Amino acid sequence: MSVIFGSAGFAKEVDWFLHEIHLAGGSKELLATCFIGKDNVGERINGKRILNEDDFINTLAVGEEVQALIAVGSPTLKKKIFENIKQYSQFIFPTIIYPKVNFDAREGKVIIGQGSIVCAGSTLTTDIKIGSHVHVNLNCTIGHDCSIGDFCTLSPGVHVSGNVTIGSGVFIGTGAVILERLSICDNAIIGAGAVVTKSIMEPGVYVGVPAQKLNILRI
């Protein structure tokens, strides 16, 4: 059994990816049977019901194995969902790579952690390490000798140059560019279209060209 945690747009895309992987010869067991979410419970996506998390867990038979895909963009929410369900040994977290992703398939050249999803049109070159529960969305590129931490999200069209180190829980908005030989600290947020030209050493929201930390006034 396979289920998708999430019920918004990215969850729909992951459902499509699983269907495409099945058509390309992947296991039928990977096809999602339902979506798990808090919004629109009882409604259907592509014919599959949206279920409440607790209700779904209560229906599981003892020892029944469930392949779980966490398909939400927010790194914080991804981690929260994982922390909630990792206590149940029945859940396993497959790594999903769309069939037409380009990457160095030689052993050890591209390492991708459990629960991560690499979407259509993306290119991962060589000597890359990607952590667990990372989303590499549509048409991203990741250059050589890069490292990306757990629970990160790369939105569509993100370009990461070579020798870049990205910490855990980082969100990078659509079309952002990270120049070579830079580091980004844990839990940073890079805005859509931003160009990161210097290493980011403290959490915050970074926007613009070149990317600068956004000063948020709290009243």
Structure confidence by residue, pLDDT tens digits, 84-106 = 999 888 899 999 999 889 999 99
pLDDT of res. 218: 54
- Average pLDDT score, the chain: 93
CA pair distance 159, 140, nearest whole angstrom: 6
Report the 10 Å Cβ neighbour count for 118. Answer: 24
In a domain, residue 217? The reply is no
CA pair distance 120, 84, nearest whole angstrom: 29
Looking at 44, 65, 94, which one is the last position of a domain?
Answer: 94
Strand, helix or coil for residue 137: coil
Structurally, how many domains does the chain consist of? 2
Cis peptide before 75 (omega within 30 of 0): no
CA pair distance 180, 199, nearest whole angstrom: 10
Whether the pLDDT of residue 56 is over 60: the answer is: yes
One domain, residues 107 and 150 = yes
Structure confidence by residue, pLDDT tens digits, 164-219 = 999 999 999 999 999 999 999 999 999 999 999 999 999 999 999 999 999 875 55
One domain, residues 66 and 110 = no
CA pair distance 212, 40, nearest whole angstrom: 38
The whole domain housing 101 covers: 95-207
Looking at 59, 75, 94, which one is the last position of a domain?
Answer: 94
> What single-letter DSSP state applies at residue 115?
T
Q: Comparing C-alpha atoms, which of 215, 137, 143 is closest to residue 182?
A: 143
Hey, which residues are catalytic here? 144
In a domain, residue 218? The reply is no
* Confidence grade of residue 160 (pLDDT, cut at 50, 70, 90): very high
CATH number of the domain where residue 160 is located: 2.160.10.10
Structure confidence by residue, pLDDT tens digits, 182-192 = 999 999 999 99
CA pair distance 206, 208, nearest whole angstrom: 7
* Burial (0-12, 13-18, 19+ Cβ within 10 Å), 24: exposed
* Burial (0-12, 13-18, 19+ Cβ within 10 Å), 94: middle
